[in-house]
Amino acid sequence: MSNEEKKNYTIGIIGGTGKEGKGLAYRWVKAGHKVIIGSRQWEKAQKAVEAVSDLLGGETELLEGMENRDAVAGCEIAVITVPYAAHRPTLEGLKDVLGGKILIDVVVPIVQPKVTKAQMPKAGSAAQEAQEILGEDCRVVDAFQNISHERLTNKGDIDCDVLVCGKGKAARDVVLRLVEDAGLRGWDAGPIENAVVVEGLTSILIGLNIQHHVHASGIRITGMPDQE
Amino acid sequence: MSNEEKKNYTIGIIGGTGKEGKGLAYRWVKAGHKVIIGSRQWEKAQKAVEAVSDLLGGETELLEGMENRDAVAGCEIAVITVPYAAHRPTLEGLKDVLGGKILIDVVVPIVQPKVTKAQMPKAGSAAQEAQEILGEDCRVVDAFQNISHERLTNKGDIDCDVLVCGKGKAARDVVLRLVEDAGLRGWDAGPIENAVVVEGLTSILIGLNIQHHVHASGIRITGMPDQE
């Protein structure tokens, strides 16, 4: 990454009006990226833009709100943060505009009521399901599954690393840079087949939250050169 | 666990002559448990006992070496640490003696040459495969998958937590106590369906070892009350 020229992206967040989408938008705009918050309804997207703009002390230049389709059409890198039930229909409806792009899939296939049990879709994971729906022309990369959403709008450090796995090292490297720009430490967790681990880990963390009465259990990678 | 009376177990380690088996034996004997190191060959088991005894400064009373079948028959809690290729045949051959016991499955279904890609058996994970083979009468619990084997025979701290998942909370609690007795911090990672996460995480960590030229990347759980 160090040899790569710094570049600011235009990032479109599908379903970006929730806590996670707003939190990512906040952090990326702060890092100099342009963010288009997408929603099924234009009005909701505007409201989310206002909320994020407030967090940023009135910043508006790098923020925009659009319907999901326009947000994707206008972006270089797309992000999806919708409840799992909306994952497939949303992607099916946006397949044509996602072609040629990287899609950062933040969705976890949580199945009620057994939220502490990893229950993956037939494709193996939400990311693989997305990849199947979108075809080879879009590169799907998992990230941010294990981050507590509330923490993203905090200014403070988040005590959780981000595992990045997905289609192709080049796409993962772009996402790793966006993880860093969001103020988090990311790790290349390998091919999209590892998405079951990254997504399933969320169920384990939810279980730990319940057992230990906390709200934001997470993970850190250890044993790296700077830690020895 | 704090209300539970301290009890020393007799632990039988199937295929206990490798680094992992010897490391666990070393740590458990140090904590006061009796350990039977099992092997396909009686002679190899004796050699492993000698090696562990040396590590312990000559301790022999709590250590024994036997053929796998005898090690299981004579233990209260069994552990399996064999290469994945030997996982199914070994368990099929020991099914009758494993009945009524807890089996700690340490095996990771690593498939060469793509060791950095999670590739689970049809049952979903090695643990679920073991549970299918052994039937309801044996409780299979995953643990120690993410620990660097070499580190187990060190006296020092291991900078990696242990995720414990498997059949039933009571069995997981026993294993969590044995994790603690081995000098490690364990977490209840929920039902056996989460074994895909715990086992698959090893592929991600192997990938990080390769990328970052380290030998023992691991994970720590964060966000717990004592860490906030």
Residue B219 touches chain A, beta carbons under 8 Å: yes
The residue among A155 and B8 whose pLDDT is bigger is B8
What pLDDT does A62 receive? 96
Contact B45, B212 (CB under 8 A): no
Is the pLDDT at B119 greater than 60? The verdict is: yes
Is the pLDDT at B115 greater than 60? The verdict is: yes
Contact B116, B204 (CB under 8 A): yes
**Cis preceding-peptide flag for B113 (omega within 30 of 0):** yes
Paired residues of A66 in beta bridges: A38
pLDDT, mean over chain B: 94
What single DSSP character describes residue A155?
S
Smallest CA–CA distance from A197 into chain B, residue: B197
pLDDT digits (tens, 9 = 90+) for A41-96: 999 999 999 999 999 999 789 999 999 999 999 999 999 999 999 999 999 999 99
Residue B123 touches chain A, beta carbons under 8 Å: no
Paired residues of B63 in beta bridges: B35
What pLDDT does B154 receive? 79
Residue B81 touches chain A, beta carbons under 8 Å: no
What pLDDT does A2 receive? 45
User: End-to-end distance of chain B based on CA atoms, in angstroms?
Assistant: 23
Q: How confident is the model at residue B153 (pLDDT cuts 50, 70, 90)?
A: confident
Q: Which residues of B touch A191 (CB under 8 A)?
A: 116-117
What pLDDT does B4 receive? 52
What pLDDT does B111 receive? 85
Q: How far apart are CA A78 and CA B71, in angstroms?
A: 56
**Contact (CB<8Å) B223/A160:** yes
Q: Which residues of B touch A120 (CB under 8 A)?
A: 196
A110's tokens: 């949580």
What pLDDT does B2 receive? 45
Contact A124, A148 (CB under 8 A): no
**Contact (CB<8Å) B213/A225:** yes
**A180: distance to nearest CA of chain B, Å?**
17
What pLDDT does B151 receive? 82
pLDDT digits (tens, 9 = 90+) for B51-82: 999 999 997 899 999 999 999 999 999 999 99
The residue among B150 and A199 whose pLDDT is bigger is A199
Lowest-confidence segment of B10-24, B57-71, B150-164 by average pLDDT: B150-164
B214's tokens: 């380290």
pLDDT digits (tens, 9 = 90+) for B217-227: 999 999 998 76
Neighbours of A177 (CB within 10 A): 17
Distance of CA A10 to the CA centre of its chain: 15
Pick from B196, B208, B214: which is nearest to A187 by CB? Answer: B208
What pLDDT does B1 receive? 43
Q: What are phi and psi of B10, to 5 degrees?
A: -100, 115
Buried b (16+ CB within 10 A) or exposed e, B163-202: bbbbbeeebbbbbbbbbebbbbebbbbbbbbbbbbbbbbb
Neighbours of A37 (CB within 10 A): 29
Query: CA angle at residue B182 from B131 to B66, to 5 degrees?
Result: 65
pLDDT digits (tens, 9 = 90+) for B40-50: 999 999 999 99
Q: How far apart are CA A196 and CA A206, in angstroms?
A: 16
Residues of chain A with pLDDT under 50: 1-3, 228
Contact B13, B39 (CB under 8 A): no
Pick from A193, A218, A220: which is nearest to B118 by CB? Answer: A193
Contact B144, B107 (CB under 8 A): no
Radius of gyration of chain B (CA): 16
Q: What percentage of residues in chain B have a pLDDT greater than 70?
A: 96
Cα–Cα distance list, A128 to A18, A117, A143, A190, B28 (Å)? 23, 19, 13, 13, 41
Is the pLDDT at B142 greater than 80? The verdict is: yes
Paired residues of B38 in beta bridges: B66
Residue A38 exposure: Cα atoms within 13 Å on the Cβ side: 24
**B74: distance to nearest CA of chain A, Å?**
34
Residue B60 touches chain A, beta carbons under 8 Å: no
What pLDDT does B156 receive? 76
Q: How far apart are CA A86 and CA A93, in angstroms?
A: 11
Residue A228 touches chain B, beta carbons under 8 Å: yes
Smallest CA–CA distance from B203 into chain A, residue: A194
What pLDDT does A130 receive? 98
Pick from B189, B204, B215: which is nearest to A190 by CB? Answer: B204
Smallest CA–CA distance from B221 into chain A, residue: A219
Q: Which residues of A touch B214 (CB under 8 A)?
A: 223-225, 228
Q: Which residues of B touch A224 (CB under 8 A)?
A: 208, 212, 214, 217
Strands B77-80 and B10-14, sheet pairing: parallel
Contact A127, A141 (CB under 8 A): yes
* Mean pLDDT on B175-191: 97
Give the pTM.
0.94
The amino acid at residue B30 is K
**Contact (CB<8Å) B217/A222:** yes
Residue entry with tokens 């990347």 = B217
* Mean pLDDT on B173-177: 98
Residue entry with tokens 């005590």 = A159
Q: How far apart are CA A108 and CA B204, in angstroms?
A: 18
Residue entry with tokens 């199914």 = B88
Q: How far apart are CA B214 and CA A225, in angstroms?
A: 7
Residue B169 touches chain A, beta carbons under 8 Å: no
